[in-house]
Amino acid sequence: MAGATQSVWAVSIVVPEECLNQLARSGIGDGLETEGFSNTFQLPMMGPVTLEVGMTITGVSFEMRSEHPERLLATIRAAGSVAFVGENPMPALPGLARVRGEVLVAPVVELHRDGSFRAVLDLANSELVGMTLEGIDGVAADAVAQVQMSEMLFAAVGGDLFLGLADQLGSVGIELDAEQSLPIVELGVRPGRAEVRVTDGTLVIGLPGVDDLDGHADVVDVSGNRVGVGLASESLSVLCARVASDAIGGPLPWELGVDTTERRLGASVRSPRLIESTRLPDLRSTLRATLRPRLVGSEIEIGLREAWIELPSIVPSVVNRLNRWVGGAAARAPLTVRIPATRELPVRPDSETMMEVAVTSIDVADHGVTATFDLSWAE
């Protein structure tokens, strides 16, 4: 996948089928109850029959197939009460109806021009592939007549019933307002829909970058319960500036830049310009450093490789080369920062179910950085 042709992405996310299904199981937990709805159906030889339906989604699983390059094949299982209202000869079901529906659903990931963001499954516009009645609580397997009547009923109305459920659900996923999605905007993501690619067993999401974005996000090859994330070099710079700003509790008093040239993580710090004018030369000095990130046990270790003062361009370049050589020699003294590589996060924003996210690899390239994350859940 790493060599696939793609437009310039600020961020890439790769989710394997196994990982998405585990997220779905954890997110649903004991079930997701939906609002009840009613619908009137025309049955052969019986005329209109009105059903009141209350459904609880008991399970969702996904298949990723290259034959559906922009959609997921979702299998949704639900248990629901079905009540007949109005004048009709249909007897009430003795228990919950357990149904299974297969739908093709498109993941929609987009940044709107007003700054809001959403990453959802568009169930309301999904395509029903098949509908199956798996059983009715309280109906014995040998109750042939009742089973056949129930199967005939769901053969007639099951598709409309399931589409009614999908329409009731609408879009399921994450929706953020402009303030909540500001970090996404700052990463250099261009308003519009993300590119979604479905291959056999893998979902790839690419958030397009703004014009003239420095670098691009690579696609990471992952499997199992591991998610791959790529960031363009400019997006990484913005992310580091936000982390530093959050750490000091306010805006940075200086300009912070990060680059990945020469496959190294470089950082630069300098004071802001007092006068913004292209007519005046930039006479600011810059503190530059080259860092080495690596995983050490359960921590991310960021070590200093070199540090030097880069003088303005009016100074001969040989001076800056000498400063860098001296800075490389001085930085041989051990200076490292360690941060935890593992965090606990909710499986979805409104869930109390937690998962453990651990960084398992970091790779720096000339145009950006990639990382892989292992996801695990308590048994």
pLDDT tens digits along 120-159: 888 778 888 887 777 777 776 555 555 565 566 666 555 6
Please report the pLDDT score of residue 1 as a whole number.
Answer: 45
> Cα–Cα distance between 214 and 233 in angstroms, integer?
6
pLDDT band at 64 (very low <50, low <70, confident <90, very high): very high
Query: What count of residues does the chain have?
Result: 379
Give the β-pairing of 107-111 and 336-340. unpaired
* Number of Cβ within a 10 Å radius of residue 53: 21
Q: Which two tokens stand for residue 200?
A: 């056999």
Cβ contact 32:169 at 8 Å: no
Please report the pLDDT score of residue 259 as a whole number.
Answer: 76
pTM, two decimal places: 0.76
Model confidence at 75: pLDDT above 60? yes
pLDDT (tens digit per residue) in 86-122 = 665 566 677 787 888 888 989 999 999 999 999 988 8
Q: Which two tokens stand for residue 32?
A: 């997701």
16-106+122-173: CATH topology is Bactericidal permeability-increasing protein; domain 1 (3.15.10)
Model confidence at 180: pLDDT above 80? yes
Cβ contact 214:7 at 8 Å: no
- Residues 6+ positions from 212 with CB-CB distance below 8 Å: none
Model confidence at 289: pLDDT above 70? yes
Model confidence at 161: pLDDT above 50? yes
- Characterise 86 by phi-psi region: left (phi > 0), alpha (psi -120 to 50), beta (else): left
Please give the average per-residue pLDDT across 169-173, as a whole number: 67
pLDDT (tens digit per residue) in 318-369 = 555 655 555 555 455 556 777 788 888 877 666 677 889 999 998 888 788 8
pLDDT band at 68 (very low <50, low <70, confident <90, very high): very high
Torsion sign, CA atoms 123, 128, 132, 138: positive
> Cα–Cα distance between 277 and 283 in angstroms, integer?
12
SS3 call for 336: strand
Q: Which two tokens stand for residue 274?
A: 């007092």
Model confidence at 205: pLDDT above 70? yes
Q: Give CA separation, 39 vs 90, 101, 164, 276, in Å.
A: 15, 18, 8, 64
Model confidence at 316: pLDDT above 70? no
The β-bridge partners of 57 are 32, 78
> Cα–Cα distance between 189 and 259 in angstroms, integer?
18
> Cα–Cα distance between 80 and 119 in angstroms, integer?
28
Mean pLDDT, the chain, whole residue set = 77
Cβ contact 94:139 at 8 Å: yes
Nearest C-alpha neighbor of 99 from the set 52, 51, 151, 139: 151
Give residue limits of the domains in the chain: 16-106+122-173, 199-377
Please report the pLDDT score of residue 269 as a whole number.
Answer: 75
pLDDT band at 370 (very low <50, low <70, confident <90, very high): very high
pLDDT (tens digit per residue) in 210-242 = 988 888 999 999 999 999 999 998 887 777 766
